[in-house]
């Protein structure tokens, strides 16, 4: 009988081999294989090493070496397991991120490797009382239903939380330090047994299957769908049909706008949008595997604080292989096809404008400059 350990790596191997069937450029295929390994690492980090809700750890869910789910550059994403019947102290130092937000998820079979079904709660730095020394403490309490200073209700059925921080200059801004702790503390963990480890490996396999299955469907959709257009805005905490959902660990503080692009080497895509008032917005490109380009690649990320705006508040983004000498340029990084993503954080509107796209020959564009 094949062991749980062998089954996990068989799934990873099958995903790696699947990338050869997409008929993608060699560099994109290689990125897809790396992506499968990153998902394997994520599955093990979460489901093998951090599934004790009375001794929760803060695990990096998305970062420089793990990117998935239309991840936003200049953002840190961390994960911790929760138990909806446990009280927690959530403590930290606020520091310099533009935004610090916590989203609570639950219901479904998350312990068994599924995505959470729903967003059950949310709070951000607007809800925190920050001390003169920059620290804060919040009690997540399953025994209360109404928030009060320093107390946030922990809904029944809660199974996990994500902690997001947004930055305008991640190389110079200091991230907030956060820590959830069960109260009273649970003490040392029990000794690990092989049966418990096998359960965790099986959950990691289920999680990997779900993540890769979603990615497999998205690759097919992006490579075949009409390009150079955006989908309608998607409020955080809902699915594509507008129904409540915790799938992919969203935050209700965001409004998301996603699209696909196809730009040949002799073309340039001009994307125009007038962002609404909000705490933070970003526009960036990514791969057909829903990964933003690697940190430090210099292929472009624009946010409210570094983009060039028109006098009317509009922004024009320029997407092409090489920079023709324009503002707000984003390089395709060797990807003819890929994804475009824009998000608006704590927007002062219910629905942001959908960006418009115009594809022209690069020679025509440069002759008009």
pLDDT tens digits along 243-266: 999 999 999 999 999 999 999 999
pLDDT for residue 299 is more than 70: no
Could you tell me the two tokens for 317?
């983004």
Mutual orientation of helices 26-47 and 194-224 as an angle, nearest 10°? 150
Contact 341, 72 (CB under 8 A): yes
**pLDDT digit string (tens) for 41-56?**
999 999 999 999 999 9
- The overall average pLDDT reported for the chain is 94
**pLDDT digit string (tens) for 46-92?**
999 999 999 999 999 998 889 999 999 899 999 999 999 999 999 99
Domain ranges of the chain: 53-182, 227-367
Going from the C-alpha of 340 to that of each of 63, 108, 222, 301, 319, the distances in angstroms are 19, 31, 11, 11, 10
d(CA 344, CA 255): 5
pLDDT for residue 170 is more than 90: no
d(CA 257, CA 230): 7
Give the pLDDT of residue 1: 47
pLDDT confidence tier of residue 135, bands split at 50, 70 and 90? very high
Give the pLDDT of residue 192: 95
Short-list 296, 288, 264, CA closest to 340: 288
What's domain 227-367's superfamily in CATH? Answer: Domain of unknown function DUF1214, C-terminal domain (2.60.120.600)
| Max Cα distance, the chain (Å) | 70
Name every residue whose Cβ is closer than 8 Å to that of residue 177 and which is 6 or more positions away in sequence: 92, 93, 95
Give the pLDDT of residue 171: 85
pLDDT confidence tier of residue 224, bands split at 50, 70 and 90? confident
As a whole number of Å, the end-to-end CA separation of the chain is: 67
CATH fold group of domain 53-182? Jelly Rolls (2.60.120)
Give the pLDDT of residue 342: 96
The predicted model gives 332-356 an average pLDDT of 94
């Amino acid at each position: 009988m094949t062991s749980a350990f062998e089954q996990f790596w068989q799934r990873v191997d099958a995903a790696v081999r699947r990338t050869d069937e997409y008929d993608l450029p060699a560099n994109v295929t290689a990125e897809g294989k790396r992506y499968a390994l990153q998902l394997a690492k994520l599955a093990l980090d979460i489901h093998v090493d951090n599934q004790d809700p009375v001794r929760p750890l803060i695990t990096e869910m998305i970062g420089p070496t793990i990117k998935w789910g239309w991840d936003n550059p200049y953002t840190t994403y961390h994960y911790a397991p929760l138990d909806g019947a446990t009280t927690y102290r959530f403590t930290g130092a606020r520091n310099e991120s533009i935004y610090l937000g916590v989203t609570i998820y639950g219901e479904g079979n998350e312990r068994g490797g599924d995505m959470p079904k729903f967003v059950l709660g949310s709070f951000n730095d607007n809800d925190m009382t920050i001390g003169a020394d920059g620290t804060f403490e919040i009690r997540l309490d399953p025994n209360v239903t109404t928030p009060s200073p320093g107390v946030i209700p922990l809904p029944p059925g809660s199974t996990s939380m994500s902690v997001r921080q947004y930055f305008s200059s991640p190389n110079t801004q200091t991230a907030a330090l956060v820590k959830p702790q069960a109260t009273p503390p649970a003490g040392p963990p029990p000794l690990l047994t092989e049966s418990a480890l096998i359960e965790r490996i099986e959950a990691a396999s289920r999680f990997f299957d779900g993540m890769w299955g979603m990615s497999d469907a998205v690759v097919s959709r992006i490579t075949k769908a009409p390009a150079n257009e955006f989908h309608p805005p998607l409020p955080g905490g809902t699915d594509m049909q507008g129904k409540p959902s915790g799938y992919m660990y969203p935050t209700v503080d965001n409004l998301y706008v996603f699209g696909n692009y196809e730009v040949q080497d002799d073309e340039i895509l001009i994307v125009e949008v007038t962002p609404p008032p909000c705490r933070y917005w970003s526009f960036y490109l990514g791969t057909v595997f829903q990964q933003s380009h690697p940190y430090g690649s210099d292929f472009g990320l624009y946010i409210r604080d570094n983009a060039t705006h028109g006098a009317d508040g509009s922004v024009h983004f320029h997407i092409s292989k090489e920079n023709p000498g324009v503002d707000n340029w984003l390089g395709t990084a060797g990807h003819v096809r890929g994804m475009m993503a824009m998000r608006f954080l704590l927007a002062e509107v219910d629905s942001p404008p959908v960006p418009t796209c115009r594809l022209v020959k690069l020679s025509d564009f440069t002759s008009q400059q």
